[in-house]
């Protein structure tokens, strides 16, 4: 059964039927936003049932849209949190990625600005490495991108997408060793990107991140995970009642090969490890339960089948 | 809004130059400085790296006096100020509070201020300077260029004086003589020769 990421948009009225249907079909609702009369469900649904879901949603005026990045957590990296880089373009990019279902975190580096003086500290490196993909938003000059990127990517092991003002071809030439994705014509700007020609680079960010992540997903498919992250999320949430007792927008964030559980590591890690998924298999058997560098959260890294010999 | 008489961004990197042209235009527009700056030349050398801006300020709008937006009348033992435009009202109130004290200055409604006490001379108050655009100009221009220049360029030299301004920034120490030479060269491009 292949699960396809989708976004369902519709009214509050009878939306619980859709939630139940997704559950019955064997899919997962990863995130639910409710804004006044509108409900948005970021979900994973079996590929063959999408048309059926559309049929059910039609009388409710619901819309089913493919959202390639549902179930991913992406780091949008800005050289700093100064007025020079925020809110444009960092927030514009983060917002655009969110529209296609990604959970984005904007990471403002402490000393990521400048050419010679740019650097990345250990905490930033570790936080970036807890994501599925890192989108670096760099500036307008080739010379600076060439010189500063090696410092900013040192120790980063997740796939990297670099955006900058030079064209995509120039970025490919100046960045050595190569990174996974390039988006040209998107550098530092001081205005909101709302014209069509300005939105085009944002669309390319989405395309580039999607293709980088599908390559990553394919790589994982070679040696499948012991449990699907979405399923593990549902199990943990049901047994530990995390979303019911949390005020976070995403109390459990789904990643491609892991989860970020937003509860205190010291207090809950042991309970989480011992939590039974089914037939005596515990969370600790299929995943590494690690302290996250992001606040005091728990970061779960799901082990592949080859390591655990268990598939639940 | 009146556009610049002259505005150029000079840089070897054409893409970077175009981006900075847009950034400078956006920021000066946002901070309402376009009508203040007449000529502007920005020189960027990403190799050094160096950001240099030179420019001329236009003749500024004149000072705003109380009589420009209000009538002052004598009333009883005090003075009544009848306001026709609220733009500078809050600034005016602060000035009056400081001069006469809060207990003597009252604002019974939106368009009226009353100053009690016999020591007030209406003709004296009429000439009160409420807003002087030159006061904050230097601060505003320097702030704008800090915002326009790439972040992290913390070695700076700047000046706003007698209708001219410059802003030089880098992340490396710059040689004094070299900066002077570059400034003279770039000032010449906007028609200032010394």
Q: What is the CATH number of the domain that holds A92?
A: 3.40.50.360
| Total beta-carbon pairs less than 8 A apart between chain A and chain B | 76
**Mean pLDDT over residues A111-135, rounded?**
95
A15, A24 Cβ separation under 8 angstroms: no
SS3 A232: helix
CB < 8 Å to B148, chain A: 190
Say if residue B52 is in the same domain as residue B87.
no
**Residue A116: alpha-carbon gap to chain centroid:** 31
Say if residue A92 is in the same domain as residue A190.
yes
* Selected residue of B152, B154, B169 to mutate for chain A interface (largest A Cβ count, 10 A): B152
| pLDDT the model gives residue B193 | 83
- Which residue of chain B has the CA closest to A170? B15
Which residues are CB-neighbours of B66 under 8 A, at least 6 positions away? B72, B81, B92, B125, B126, B127, B128, B130
Final residue in a domain of this structure, among B131, B151, B169:
B131
SS (H, E, C) B93-161: HHHHHHHHCCCCEEEEECCEEEECCCCCCHHHHHCCEEECCCCCHHHHHHHHHHHHCCCCCCEEEEEEE
Domain membership of residue B37 (yes or no) is: yes
Angle subtended at Cα B42 by Cα A91 and Cα A163, rounded to the nearest 5 degrees: 30
| pLDDT the model gives residue B1 | 46
Which of B16, B148, B171 is closest, CB to CB, to A116? B171
Which of B11, B27, B153 is closest, CB to CB, to A190? B27
What CATH number is attached to the domain comprising A44? 3.30.70.260
Say if residue A200 is in the same domain as residue A98.
yes
Which residues are CB-neighbours of A253 under 8 A, at least 6 positions away? A73, A103, A259, A260, A262
Interface confidence: ipTM more than 0.85? yes
Say if residue A97 is in the same domain as residue A57.
no
CB < 8 Å to A187, chain B: 15-16, 19
**Mean pLDDT over residues A35-60, rounded?**
93
Continuous segment of H or E residues that includes residue A24: helix A15-24
Say if residue A102 is in the same domain as residue A30.
no
Final residue in a domain of this structure, among A49, A66, A83:
A66
* Selected residue of A140, A144, A188, A197 to mutate for chain B interface (largest B Cβ count, 10 A): A140
Mean pLDDT over all residues of chain A?
94
SS3 A170: helix
SS (H, E, C) A281-295: EEHHHHEEEEECCCC
Say if residue B71 is in the same domain as residue B117.
yes
Say if residue A215 is in the same domain as residue A233.
no
Burial zone of B129 (CB within 10 Å; 0-12 exposed, 13-18 middle, 19+ buried): exposed
Q: How far does the CA of residue A117 sit from the closest CA of chain B (Å)?
A: 8
Continuous segment of H or E residues that includes residue A268: helix A265-274
SS3 A216: helix
Q: How far does the CA of residue A99 sit from the closest CA of chain B (Å)?
A: 26
Test B23 with A144 for CB contact under 8 angstroms: no
Domain that holds residue A274: 229-308
Say if residue B77 is in the same domain as residue B122.
yes
Per mean pLDDT, which range of A10-24, A94-108, A192-206, B59-73 is the poorest?
B59-73
How many independent structural domains does chain A possess?
3
- pLDDT tens track for A150-161: 999 999 999 999
Q: How far apart are CA A143 and CA A175, in angstroms?
A: 11
Averages of pLDDT over runs of 10 residues in chain B (194 residues) are 83 95 94 90 95 91 88 87 91 92 91 85 87 85 95 92 93 92 94 82
Taking the CA atoms of B89, B92, B98 and B103 in sequence, report the sign of the dihedral they define. negative
Say if residue A13 is in the same domain as residue A128.
no
Test A115 with B49 for CB contact under 8 angstroms: yes
Whether B145 and chain A come into contact, CB under 8 Å, resolves to: no
Say if residue A108 is in the same domain as residue A240.
no
Which residues are CB-neighbours of A195 under 8 A, at least 6 positions away? none
Which of B47, B148, B152 is closest, CB to CB, to A113? B152
CB < 8 Å to B171, chain A: 114-117
Continuous segment of H or E residues that includes residue A38: strand A38-46
- pLDDT tens track for B88-116: 899 999 999 999 899 999 999 999 999 98
Say if residue A213 is in the same domain as residue A244.
no
Percentage of chain A modeled with pLDDT above 90: 90
Test A187 with B19 for CB contact under 8 angstroms: yes
Q: What is the length of chain A?
A: 312
| pLDDT the model gives residue B16 | 95
**Mean pLDDT over residues A281-301, rounded?**
96
Domain that holds residue B91: 64-131
| pLDDT the model gives residue B2 | 62
Say if residue A94 is in the same domain as residue A187.
yes
Say if residue B148 is in the same domain as residue B126.
no
Distant-in-sequence contacts of A168-172, Cβ < 8 A, 24+ apart:
A168/A204, A170/A142, A170/B15, A171/A145
SS3 B1: coil
Q: How far apart are CA A294 and CA A75, in angstroms?
A: 12
- Which residue of chain B has the CA closest to A145? B46
How many independent structural domains does chain B possess?
2
Q: How far does the CA of residue B26 sit from the closest CA of chain A (Å)?
A: 6
Q: What are phi and psi of A32, to 5 degrees?
A: -125, 120
Burial zone of A42 (CB within 10 Å; 0-12 exposed, 13-18 middle, 19+ buried): buried
CB < 8 Å to B26, chain A: 189-191
Taking the CA atoms of B82, B88, B89 and B94 in sequence, report the sign of the dihedral they define. negative
- Which residue of chain A has the CA closest to B146? A84
Which residues are CB-neighbours of A309 under 8 A, at least 6 positions away? none
Say if residue B13 is in the same domain as residue B56.
yes
Provide the phi-psi class of A309: left if phi over 0, else alpha when psi is between -120 and 50, else beta.
Answer: left
- Which residue of chain B has the CA closest to A79? B151
Q: How far apart are CA A192 and CA A298, in angstroms?
A: 35
**Mean pLDDT over residues A220-240, rounded?**
94
CB < 8 Å to A166, chain B: 15
Test B26 with A191 for CB contact under 8 angstroms: yes
Which of A80, A117, A143 is closest, CB to CB, to B171? A117
Q: How far apart are CA B64 and CA A264, in angstroms?
A: 59
Test A84 with B150 for CB contact under 8 angstroms: yes
Whether B49 and chain A come into contact, CB under 8 Å, resolves to: yes
Confidence bin at A148 (pLDDT 50/70/90): very high
Q: How far does the CA of residue A161 sit from the closest CA of chain B (Å)?
A: 20
Domain membership of residue B194 (yes or no) is: no
- Which residue of chain B has the CA closest to A166? B15
Say if residue A148 is in the same domain as residue A276.
no
Whether B155 and chain A come into contact, CB under 8 Å, resolves to: no
Say if residue A178 is in the same domain as residue A214.
yes
Alpha helix positions (H), A25-141: 50-57, 90-99, 122-129
- Which residue of chain A has the CA closest to B153? A114
Domain membership of residue B109 (yes or no) is: yes
Say if residue A177 is in the same domain as residue A95.
yes
Domain membership of residue B54 (yes or no) is: yes
Q: How far apart are CA B55 and CA B79, in angstroms?
A: 45
């Amino acid at each position: 059964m292949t699960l396809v990421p989708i976004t369902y948009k519709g009214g509050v009225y009878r939306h619980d039927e859709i939630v139940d249907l997704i559950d019955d079909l064997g899919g997962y609702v990863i995130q639910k936003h409710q804004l006044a009369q509108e409900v948005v469900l970021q979900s994973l649904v079996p590929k063959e049932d999408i048309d059926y879901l559309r049929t059910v949603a039609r009388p409710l005026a619901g819309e089913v849209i493919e959202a390639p990045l549902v179930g991913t957590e992406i780091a949008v990296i800005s050289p700093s949190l100064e007025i020079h880089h925020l809110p444009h373009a960092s927030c514009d990019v983060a917002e655009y990625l969110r529209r296609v279902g990604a959970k984005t975190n904007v990471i403002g580096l402490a000393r990521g600005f400048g050419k010679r003086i740019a650097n990345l500290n250990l905490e930033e490196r570790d936080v970036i490495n807890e994501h599925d993909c890192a989108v670096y938003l760099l500036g307008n000059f080739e010379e600076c991108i060439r010189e500063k990127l090696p410092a900013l990517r040192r120790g980063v092991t997740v796939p990297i997408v670099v955006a900058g003002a030079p064209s995509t071809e120039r970025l490919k030439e100046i960045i050595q060793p190569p990174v996974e994705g390039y988006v040209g014509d998107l550098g530092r700007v001081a205005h909101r990107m709302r014209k069509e020609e300005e939105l085009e680079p944002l669309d390319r960010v989405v395309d580039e991140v999607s293709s980088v992540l599908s390559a990553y997903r394919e790589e994982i498919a070679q040696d499948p995970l012991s449990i699907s992250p979405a399923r593990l999320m549902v199990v943990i949430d049901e047994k530990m009642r995390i979303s019911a007792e949390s005020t976070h927008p995403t109390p459990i964030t789904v990643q491609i090969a892991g989860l970020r559980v937003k509860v205190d590591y010291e207090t809950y890690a042991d309970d989480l490890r011992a939590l039974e998924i089914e037939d005596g298999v515990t969370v600790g058997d299929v995943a590494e339960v690690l302290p996250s560098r992001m606040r005091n959260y728990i970061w779960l890294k799901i082990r592949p089948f080859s390591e655990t010999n268990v598939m639940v | 809004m009146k556009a610049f008489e002259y505005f150029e961004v000079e840089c070897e990197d054409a893409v970077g130059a175009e981006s900075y042209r847009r950034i400078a235009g956006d920021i000066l527009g946002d901070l309402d400085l376009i009508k203040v700056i007449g000529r502007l030349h920005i020189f960027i050398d990403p190799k050094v790296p160096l950001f240099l801006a030179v420019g001329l300020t236009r003749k500024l709008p004149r000072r705003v006096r109380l009589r420009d937006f209000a009538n002052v009348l004598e009333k009883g033992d005090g003075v009544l100020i009848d306001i026709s435009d609220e733009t500078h009202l809050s600034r005016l109130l602060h000035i009056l509070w400081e001069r006469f004290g809060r207990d003597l200055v009252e604002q019974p409604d939106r368009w009226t201020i009353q100053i009690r006490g016999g020591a007030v001379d209406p003709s004296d108050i009429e000439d009160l300077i409420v807003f002087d655009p030159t006061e904050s100009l230097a601060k505003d221009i320097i702030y704008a260029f800090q915002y326009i220049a790439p972040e992290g360029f913390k070695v700076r030299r700047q000046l706003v004086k007698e209708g001219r301004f410059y802003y030089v920034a880098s992340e490396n120490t710059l040689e004094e003589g070299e900066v002077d030479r570059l400034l003279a060269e770039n000032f010449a491009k906007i028609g200032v020769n010394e």
